[in-house]
Structure 1
Amino acid sequence: MNCAAIKQKLAAIGAGSVSETEYGRKGFALDVQVAPEQLVAAVSALDAEGFFIEAVTGVDWLGEQAALRKEAEAKVAAAAKAKAEAAAAAGEEAPPAEPVAEQGELPEDALEAVYDFNHYEALCRVTIRTRVPRSKPEVPTISQIYPGANWHERETHDFFGITFVGHPYLVPLLLPEDADYHPLLKDFRP
């Protein structure tokens, strides 16, 4: 078993993106992006190859869409400035500024569930990521494949509000039982 073979297996199940990373810099060999409905198949493929689960956690991407829009606008402005400077250097009149393309309705900001897997025999650490909209943060549970994921999913639910559909006991693990908040969300205010 090697990372190239795992990469092929994950690509074969239709994973959105399977990319090799620089292990020494990132700490994992494969970065896998899957849709929530592909998660169980991807995790099952790793289980069949003898991988064990290290962690499940979440990431709140609140504000990402606004940041992407701002970055695109900055690139357009820099290109317009460069054209104007080039025209001025050539003694020509500066071309009219191009309007920033309207991006329309941006997709909703998302939450991401991140799963880390490792293998005892091969140096092949794999990270699987799946994004869900903040308005409906639901991901299928993997606790039927990896029973140890049970408390990882409960903790992630506590702190990020991601619901693991099919989880056998999704009650608070670290927060009070009556907690109706998720303290690691970027918009959380105590």
Structure 2
Amino acid sequence: MARWNVLGLQGALLTHLVEPVYLYSLTVGSLQHVGHLSRAVAHRLGGLGGLGRLPAPYRCHRPLLACLCRGRPYHPGKSPGTSVNWTAGDAQPEVLNATTGTRMASGSPSRLCKRALFTRWAKLVHRSTPLPYCQAKRAAEVYQAVKQRWVSALREAGLGTWVRKPPEQDHFLLCV
């Protein structure tokens, strides 16, 4: 979430179409200590001197924070194995196996998988020639530069190294 406060929620592909989208507020249920949340989400950004002045429209954003307290004790258990998503205009929600990200009914990939979202993005930008996913993401040059500054600032501040996903996950070709 701290990364979202610098780069926005939209990711590299959507920066081709929109400016960074920042959370206005964040509400957490059953929070034990508001200070811990505040430090993790927003206040550590102030200690990242390596970020410096970010190129517009990027900034170090701080959302409003709130917590909901329960009257009775909360006993965490195993999370459910399903996930549900829906959008306006859908006949019904998409129910997924939360472990695999595939549809419960058919086992087919979710409409939220990288390939499906990349296909929609390509249609939005009227892309008709084959394009590797990783190349489309790299083309968001300002986003990538700010992301690299974020990773370097974390390391320089002694907050660790940002864990990256395996690069081969982004090496697929979209033929539209």
TM-score range, shorter chain: under 0.3
Q: Could you tell me the TM-score, scaled by structure 1's length?
A: 0.21
What is the TM-score when the length of structure 2 is the normalising length?
0.22
More strand by share: 1
